[in-house]
């Protein structure tokens, strides 16, 4: 046993050979999964739309399918268009296992499944469901 091993064992740490058994499998491959650093992480983008025609909804859906966050501003849009846009995007976000959140009157946030939405304001959390719109 070397000097370093004596120091490590006197401090209460395990022997390096014991650690090798836990870190590597029988074939010598590491059992640990590497964690990517922040520079290697995928960046999440936000798209903001203000649709005035129903034809624009496919562009919004394409952004959701690309795993981007989407903010839809329907302030000033007529009620029929707003209802059709919300209905269509609710279906898109449902197929992506995402969520819809009402941010304010006429402004909605749609997120794919890789994004978690937390609200500190109880009225937004309660009003963010599909049924309350």
Residue 131 confidence class, pLDDT cut points 50, 70, 90: very low
Window from 14-18, 40-44, 83-87, 89-93 with minimum mean pLDDT = 14-18
Burial label, 70 (beta-carbon count in 10 A; 0-12, 13-18, 19+): buried
Residue 114 confidence class, pLDDT cut points 50, 70, 90: confident
Residue 18 confidence class, pLDDT cut points 50, 70, 90: low
CB atoms inside a 10 Å sphere around CB 69: 19
Closest CA to 110 of 55, 62, 52: 62
Query: 62 vs 31, which has greater pLDDT?
Result: 62
The CA-atom distances, in angstroms, between 69 and each of 15, 63, 84, 98 are 48, 8, 20, 10
Sequence spans of domains, the chain: 1-34, 38-127
The CATH superfamily label for domain 38-127 reads SepF-like protein (3.30.110.150)
* Tokens at 91, concatenated: 């279906």
- The predicted model gives 104-113 an average pLDDT of 92
Residue 133 has pLDDT above 60, yes or no: no
Does this model's pTM top 0.85? My answer is no
Cα atoms found within 13 Å of the Cα of residue 59, Cβ hemisphere only: 12
């Amino acid at each position: 046993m070397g000097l370093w091993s004596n120091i490590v064992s006197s401090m209460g740490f395990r022997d390096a050979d014991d650690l090798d058994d836990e870190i590597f499998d029988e074939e010598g491959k590491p059992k640990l999964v590497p964690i990517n650093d922040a520079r290697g992480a995928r960046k999440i983008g936000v798209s903001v739309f203000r649709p005035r025609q129903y034809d624009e909804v496919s562009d919004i859906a394409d952004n959701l399918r690309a795993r981007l966050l989407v903010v839809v501003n329907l302030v000033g849009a007529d009620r029929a268009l707003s209802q059709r846009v919300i209905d269509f995007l609710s279906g898109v976000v449902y197929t992506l296992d995402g969520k819809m959140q009402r941010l304010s009157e006429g402004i909605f946030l749609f997120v794919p499944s890789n994004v978690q939405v937390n609200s500190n304001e109880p009225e937004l959390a309660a009003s963010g469901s599909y049924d309350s719109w």
